[in-house]
Amino acid sequence: MLKFKKIKGNLVHKTAVVNWKKIKIGKGNIIGPYVVIGNMPQWKNKKAVGKILIGNKNIINEYCNIHLPTNLKKETYIGNNNYLMNSTTVDHDCYIENNVTLSSNVILGGNVHIMKNSTVGIKTVIHQNQVVGSYVIIGMGTIVTKKIKLKPGYVFYGKPVKQVKKNIIALNKYKINYKILKKELNRFNKIRKFQ
């Protein structure tokens, strides 16, 4: 049986390493075996500046790494109801909104922003400073390069990544009409502008 401790309203596995001085966390999160939260940013010669903010009811599975931010954004952020499968890396200054799934062995370069209700497939690598739109699904083994626009509501996959088709399953599931999708596209463009 896995041995978890209850800490600040969260279940934390006894082998997890959490830098509690540099994290602000909500409740109902599950932090699995050998997770590391709050290690130094993976950006040579950059110092850690700021904190990691984690909301509520996230599942962070075994061997995940979540790194401290730099002076670029001063926060690494994970919202609510996100599911991080094993061995996922969330580098410095990343921003993950709500209801996002990061499958096993996903690597997010620094300062990646993932908008709500998106899914990133197994062993996908996302270039730093990228934005993943809402209701996007990225197929497994995809290499997300710097210049591609991952617009809300689409399916992407490949090496390098290509836009394939509308993500009809997610758009229907969340009852997303043209008006809502247009609003998300506007938000996506604003985020990209400052990324």
Q: Is residue 194 very low, low, confident or very high in pLDDT (cuts 50, 70, 90)? A: confident
C-alpha triplet 82, 85, 88: angle, nearest 5°:
100
Confidence check: pLDDT of 195 > 90:
no
For position 141, which CATH number holds? 2.160.10.10
Confidence check: pLDDT of 1 > 80:
no
Residues 106-112: what's their mean pLDDT? 98
Q: Is 82 in contact with 64 (CB distance < 8 Å)?
A: no
Helix-strand-coil percent breakdown of the chain, rounded to 5? 15, 35, 55
State the Cα–Cα distance between residues 142 and 169, nearest whole angstrom: 20
Say how many domains are in the chain. Answer: 1
Q: Is residue 2 very low, low, confident or very high in pLDDT (cuts 50, 70, 90)? A: confident
Residue with tokens 């209801």: 99
Confidence check: pLDDT of 191 > 90:
yes
What are the pLDDT digits (tens) for 3-29?
999 999 999 999 999 999 999 999 999
pLDDT score, position 103: 98
Instruction: Give the Cβ contact number of residue 186 at 10 Å.
Output: 11
Confidence check: pLDDT of 125 > 80:
yes
pLDDT score, position 6: 96
Joined together, the tokens standing for residue 57 give 């009811």
Confidence check: pLDDT of 182 > 80:
yes
Joined together, the tokens standing for residue 84 give 């991080």
Joined together, the tokens standing for residue 76 give 């690494």
pLDDT score, position 112: 98
What is the residue range of 9's domain?
Answer: 4-193
What are the pLDDT digits (tens) for 31-87?
999 999 999 999 999 999 999 999 999 999 999 999 999 999 999 999 999 999 999
Task: Tell me what the pLDDT averaged over the chain comes to.
Answer: 97
Residues 6 or more apart from 178 whose CB is under 8 A from it? none
State the Cα–Cα distance between residues 169 and 133, nearest whole angstrom: 15
Q: Is 127 in contact with 146 (CB distance < 8 Å)?
A: yes
C-alpha distances (whole Å) from 139 to each of 23, 94, 180, 195 are 31, 20, 24, 23
Residues 94-108: what's their mean pLDDT? 98
- Of 10, 75, 67, nearest in space to 49 by CA: 75
Confidence check: pLDDT of 167 > 70:
yes
